């Protein structure tokens, strides 16, 4: 089977039912049925074919959340074109790398985002494609695709400073979708409020795929913004919501009576992409009358572990491995640890990707992403004797801010290119709202200029990667091997506050 088969459960079998609500450019709300989505995507699939874009080709999506993203995604799935989503917050340097690595035939984007795409890259305008598609036939498009063929390449932040493309197959996505439908009881009766970006697996693989496979109704918004989301909770009346911890933290600012009303109509809140603080879990339960279901996944594996729908959703824990997913916790010597002992989590299953595009691996010791068929996640975890898994930090330097991944090396490389900067180390520091934020410790010559450094970062990196502070130090603490010992860096002075929340 292929992804199109499980989407047919709705696109074909529920053709006359309302599928999607979204905002038109003029601010009004449009509704499409599953049948209309099927016709639109067939037209786009034919259009791509007439432009010579075929099975196995890569197509870059540098697009915000909008209906054309869904049309194009479905079209690609139908004809076997491999989707390469690009974070809309990425800038020229980051996009350049993804394009050089994945070699897409073109990048589809909007007029607003076009200036960020490096000039040498072939670009397709999303509005032009949408209007050209209207001339195409809307009849069913069908290509025989094997489940092990890639459906998407998802770029994750790279330890080498450059991101790596996780190749996810139709089978990976299907296994994930079927698991979530069953384990989270998602049905046609649900109403899903989609606020997460479609360019990551949380919004795409969990959100869009379970919507299409279940045949429920989705309200798509361009991005999460607390007051807007609050209004939609009341007008659209969703039953299902997926968020990152930063989003749940922000929802805690809603007035109590509104939170209570929202809670009464909701069925399930799921959190993932970063650890959910127990304080947020408890405060949310108190305020909304709902116990958030926390789960654990990665771009490379989709969803691995989830708290149960029925039974205890344990604060601080991510629950049990999902059906078909095998999990082991290994010590430094690669041996399985006992219950309650911390080790590195490794996973195996139909959800686990087949490797990085072009075989990019991690540098240094323990370089292989797979050992004996097990994918090493880089996350540290322990298993309780009753089977619940708890994450305990990371083996790698990854920083997660607002649910977006950042590798310090990416920021360090940009800073090292700046005049006056001799050495840099970037670390994540705790932040109540975003979980973590990056800060840079810099050894610099006299010409060190904070504004210029920030400016250089702004030009080259996504906004969520901006260091919150630049701290000048005389030298970096290094061990005998020359490796920076981050725990010996001087403590931070109070950080400048984040801009006020837009409520």
Site residues (vs ligand MLC, CB under 6 A): 88-89, 196-197, 200-203, 223-224, 244, 246-247, 272-273, 297-299, 402-404, 433-434, 463-464
Whats the size of the chain, residue-wise? Answer: 503
Min dist CB 271 to ligand MLC, Å, is 9
| Cβ-based nearer residue to ligand MLC, 155 or 288 | 155
Strand runs (DSSP E) across 110-236, as ranges? Answer: 123-125, 150-156, 164-169, 191-194, 217-220
Cα-flanking dihedrals φ and ψ of residue 375, to 5°?
Answer: -85, 125
Min dist CB 476 to ligand MLC, Å, is 28
Min dist CB 206 to ligand MLC, Å, is 7
| Cβ-based nearer residue to ligand MLC, 39 or 273 | 273
How many CB atoms sit inside 10 A of residue 115's CB?
9
Min dist CB 424 to ligand MLC, Å, is 22
| Cβ-based nearer residue to ligand MLC, 42 or 351 | 351
| Cβ-based nearer residue to ligand MLC, 494 or 497 | 497
Tokens of 320: 């049990």
**SS3 state of residue 297:** strand
What region does 340 belong to: left with phi over 0, alpha with psi -120 to 50, or beta?
left
Min dist CB 385 to ligand MLC, Å, is 26
Tokens of 394: 């990371």
Min dist CB 97 to ligand MLC, Å, is 18
Min dist CB 233 to ligand MLC, Å, is 15
How many CB atoms sit inside 10 A of residue 334's CB?
15
Q: Which residues contact 501 (CB under 8 A, 6 or more apart)?
A: 226, 250, 253, 433
| Cβ-based nearer residue to ligand MLC, 141 or 318 | 318
Tokens of 226: 């607390």
The helix (H) or strand (E) run that includes residue 133 is: helix 126-133
| Cβ-based nearer residue to ligand MLC, 35 or 64 | 64
Cα-flanking dihedrals φ and ψ of residue 7, to 5°?
Answer: -75, -30
Cα-flanking dihedrals φ and ψ of residue 434, to 5°?
Answer: -100, 0
Does residue 59 contact residue 84 with C-beta atoms inside 8 Å? Answer: yes
| Cβ-based nearer residue to ligand MLC, 45 or 437 | 437
Min dist CB 383 to ligand MLC, Å, is 19
| Cβ-based nearer residue to ligand MLC, 199 or 441 | 199
């Amino acid at each position: 089977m292929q992804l199109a088969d499980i989407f047919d459960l709705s696109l074909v079998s529920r053709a006359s039912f309302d599928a999607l609500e979204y905002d038109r450019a003029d601010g009004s709300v449009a509704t499409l049925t599953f049948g209309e989505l099927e016709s639109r995507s067939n037209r786009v699939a034919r259009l791509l074919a007439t432009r010579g874009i075929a099975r196995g080709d890569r197509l870059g999506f540098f697009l915000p959340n909008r209906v054309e993203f869904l049309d194009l995604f479905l079209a690609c799935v139908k004809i076997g074109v491999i989707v390469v989503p690009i974070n809309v917050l990425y800038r020229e340097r980051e996009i350049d790398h993804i394009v050089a690595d994945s070699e897409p035939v073109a990048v589809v984007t909007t007029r607003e985002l076009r200036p960020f795409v490096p000039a040498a890259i072939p670009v397709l305008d999303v509005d032009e494609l949408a209007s050209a598609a209207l001339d195409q036939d809307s009849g069913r498009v069908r290509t025989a695709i094997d489940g092990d063929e890639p459906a998407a390449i998802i770029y994750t932040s790279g330890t080498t400073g450059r991101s790596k493309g996780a190749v996810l197959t139709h089978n990976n996505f299907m296994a994930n979708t079927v698991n979530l439908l069953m384990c989270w009881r998602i049905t046609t009766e649900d109403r899903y409020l989609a606020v997460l970006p479609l360019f990551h697996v949380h919004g795409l693989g969990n959100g869009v795929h379970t919507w299409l496979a279940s045949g429920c109704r989705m309200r798509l918004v361009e991005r999460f913004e607390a007051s807007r989301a609050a209004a939609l909770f009341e007008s659209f009346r969703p039953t299902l919501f997926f968020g990152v911890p930063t989003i749940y933290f922000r929802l805690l600012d809603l007035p109590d009576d509104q939170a209570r009303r929202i809670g009464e109509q909701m069925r399930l809140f799921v959190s993932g992409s970063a650890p959910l603080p127990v304080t947020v879990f408890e405060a949310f339960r108190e305020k909304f009358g709902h116990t958030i279901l926390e789960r654990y996944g990665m771009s490379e594996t989709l969803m691995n572990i989830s708290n149960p729908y029925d039974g205890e959703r344990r604060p601080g824990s991510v629950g049990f491995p999902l059906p078909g997913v095998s999990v082991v916790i290994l010590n430094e010597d690669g041996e399985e640890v006992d219950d309650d002992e911390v080790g590195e989590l490794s996973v195996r299953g139909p959800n686990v990707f087949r490797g990085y595009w072009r075989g990019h691996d991690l540098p240094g010791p323990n370089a292989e992403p797979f050992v004996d068929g097990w994918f090493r996640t880089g996350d540290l975890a322990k298993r309780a004797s009753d089977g619940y898994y708890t994450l305990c930090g990371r083996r790698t330097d990854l920083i997660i801010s607002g649910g977006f991944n950042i590798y310090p090396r990416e920021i360090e490389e940009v800073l090292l290119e700046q005049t006056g900067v001799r050495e840099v180390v970037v670390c994540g520091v705790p932040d109540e709202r975003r979980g973590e934020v990056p800060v840079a410790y810099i050894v610099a010559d006299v010409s060190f200029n904070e504004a210029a450094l920030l400016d250089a970062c702004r030009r080259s990196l996504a906004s969520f990667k901006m260091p919150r502070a630049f701290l000048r130090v005389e030298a970096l603490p290094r061990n005998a091997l020359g490796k920076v010992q981050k725990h010996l860096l001087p403590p931070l002075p109070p950080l400048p506050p984040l801009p006020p929340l837009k409520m």
